[in-house]
Amino acid sequence: MSQRLRHLTSLENMPSATIERLLDRAVSMRDACAHGTRKLDLLAGRTVLNLFFEPSTRTRTSFELAARRLGADVINFDIGLSSTSKGEALFDTLHTLEAMHLDTIVVRHKISGTPDELVRHAMSGVAVINAGDGNRAHPTQGLLDMLTIREHRPDFRQLKVVICGDVKHSRVARSDVHALRALGAKEIRLCGPAGLMPEASEFPGCTIVENFDEAIEGVDAVIMLRLQKERMASTDLPDEAAYFERFGLDNRRLALAGKGCLVMHPGPLNRGIEIASEVADGPQSRILEQVGNGVFVRMAVLCEVMGR
Ligand code: ASP
């Protein structure tokens, strides 16, 4: 059996056995909840702190729901109202909160590497889960994307995927690629405007294809990404209509993909910029399924890092 994780900051170099174990555990959580048990008590008496320094809708709510369904107490730390906004150093905030006896910190921060810094400074016994750091990693999103794909396309060795949009600034793309490679995906294509593409060396094992019509041809899953305007200089912002024309997903383009291709997006969606409503709300869309799976994946991760 692969070793238990004490923290989850990235999927980079995570063995496939660990990924599979977390996905299997998420499925067990879902089964338990489907059989009428909306609340398990695996984490009764434990405390989870949501420490979000960047806005979030899905991820924060999903972690909160996951922790509550496991019986844990949850504290949502509102940065806007906290002493951090008065200039308190991150680690002083951390130690102050730790003195209140936390078990797990779920952190989102615009600076890449912050979760690992917290791991280095956290009191022993306190687990850290990365809920998105800069453009570096969003491991629970990567896991929930793999669960969503696995349910429909269980054989990753046959899987062709295209990730399209602002790959350069996307932590989701990085975590997805780490997991897809670990699980042995057959082909991973990256597509987007040249200015929003990463260095190829940063994404080994992927093929960069600039023309979306070519990139989507025959794929089993298409993962669309949002333009991460908050991480771009204003001069880098593409013209939105021209962007949709070249890199937007509509029904015409989706018809070029493989039969029944899964349409995925981590949210928030920008309709008419990277994805048309006809596709986002269409029969091949798995977007809400991703959101649903997110809660079970986070339940699995919380149990994992807290040793339950
Ligand atoms: N929600 C995802 C993230 O936090 C994707 C996005 O914001 O576009 O990275």
Q: Could you tell me the CATH number of the domain that includes residue 108?
A: 3.40.50.1370
Please indicate, yes or no, whether residues 118 and 165 belong to a single structural domain of this protein: no
Residues 276, 297 share a domain: no
- Pair type for strands 160-164 and 127-133: unpaired
* Count: domains in the chain: 2
Do residues 132 and 166 share a domain? Answer: no
240 and 100 assigned to the same domain: no
8 domain residue, yes or no: no
Residue 10 in domain: no
Q: What's the pLDDT at 42?
A: 95
Q: What is the pLDDT of residue 143?
A: 98
Same domain, 100 and 179: no
In a domain, 85, yes or no: yes
148 with 280, same domain? Answer: yes
With respect to residue 153, please indicate whether it lies within any of the assigned structural domains. Answer: yes
Instruction: Tell whether 33 is covered by a domain.
Output: yes
Q: Which of 63, 223, 226 to mutate to test the pocket of ligand 1 (most atoms within 8 A of CB)?
A: 226
Q: What are the Cα distances from residue 17, in Å, to 4, 11, 21?
A: 11, 12, 6
Place of tokens 């008496």: 45
Which residues form ligand 1's pocket by a CB distance below 6 Å?
A: 132, 138, 171-172, 226, 266-267
What pLDDT score was predicted for residue 17? 97
Q: How far is the CA of 166 from the centre of ligand 1 (A)?
A: 11
For the CA of 226, the closest atom of ligand 1 is 8
Q: Which domain holds residue 43?
A: 16-137+291-305
pLDDT the model gives residue 183:
98
Distance of CA 176 to CAs 15, 21, 115, Å? 14, 17, 18
The minimum-distance atom of ligand 1 relative to the CA of 59 is: 1
Indicate if 30 and 85 belong to the same structural domain: yes
Note whether 175 and 41 are same-domain residues: no
Q: 245 and 151 in one domain?
A: yes
How is residue 257 written in tokens?
Answer: 């993909």
Domain assignment present for residue 260? The answer is: yes
pTM of the predicted model as reported, rounded to 2 decimal places: 0.95
What pLDDT was estimated at residue 83?
66
Same domain flag for 131 and 63 = yes
State the distance from the centre of ligand 1 to the C-alpha of 37, rounded, in angstroms.
30
Domain contains 104: yes
Residue 176 in any domain: the answer is yes
Say whether both 166 and 231 belong to one domain.
yes
Q: How buried is 300 (Cβ within 10 angstroms: 0-12 exposed, 13-18 middle, 19+ buried)? A: buried
Asked if 42 and 271 touch (Cβ cutoff 8 Å), the reply is: no
> Ligand 1 atom closest to Cα of 131?
4
Pocket test for ligand 1, best of 53, 63, 166, 170 (most atoms within 8 A of CB): 170
64 and 161 share one domain: no
- The residues facing 52 across adjacent strands are 78, 108
Residues of the chain with pLDDT below 50 are none
